[in-house]
Amino acid sequence: MNRKGKRYQVPFPNKTLAIQRVFCFARPALLLPRLNLGGDACLCYYECMSRNIDFSINEYYHLYNRGVDKRTVFMDAEDYKRFTALLYLANNTNSVHMNNLNHRGLTSLDVLSIEKGDTLVDIGAYCLMPNHFHVLVREKIESGISIFMQKVMTGYTMYFNKKYKRTGALFGGTFKAQHVARDTYLKYLFAYIHLNPIKLVDSNWKENGISDKKKAERYLNSYLYSSYLDFKGTDREEKSILNKDAFPQYFSTNVEFRSFVSWWLNFKDEK
| Contact status, residue 89 vs residue 206, Cβ threshold 8 Å | no
Crossing angle of helices 254-265/213-222, nearest 10°?
130
Per-residue tens of pLDDT for the chain, all 271 residues: 333 333 333 333 433 333 333 333 232 222 233 333 333 323 222 333 335 688 999 999 999 999 999 999 999 999 999 999 999 999 999 877 666 555 455 677 788 888 888 999 999 999 999 999 999 999 999 999 999 999 999 999 999 999 999 999 999 988 999 999 999 999 999 999 999 999 999 999 988 999 999 999 999 999 999 999 999 999 999 999 999 999 999 999 999 999 999 999 987 665 5
pLDDT at 269: 63
Instruction: Report the top-level CATH class of 3-265.
Output: alpha beta
- Residue spans of the domains in the chain: they are 3-265
Q: Which pLDDT does position 35 carry in this prediction?
A: 33
Per-residue confidence (pLDDT) for residue 110, from 0 to 100: 80
Pairwise CA distance, residues 92 & 191, whole Å:
27
User: Which residue, 132, 122, 2, 129, is CA-closest to 64?
Assistant: 132
Asked if residue 109 lies in contact with residue 85, where contact means CB atoms within 8 angstroms, the answer is yes
Instruction: Name the amino acid, one letter, at 172.
Output: G
Q: What is the pTM of this model?
A: 0.80
- Annotate 26-43 with b (16+ C-beta within 10 A) or e (fewer): beeeeebeebebbbeeeb
Query: Mapping DSSP to helix (H, G, I), strand (E, B) and coil, where does residue 10 land?
Result: strand
Structural contact between residues 244 and 253, judged by C-beta atoms closer than 8 angstroms: no
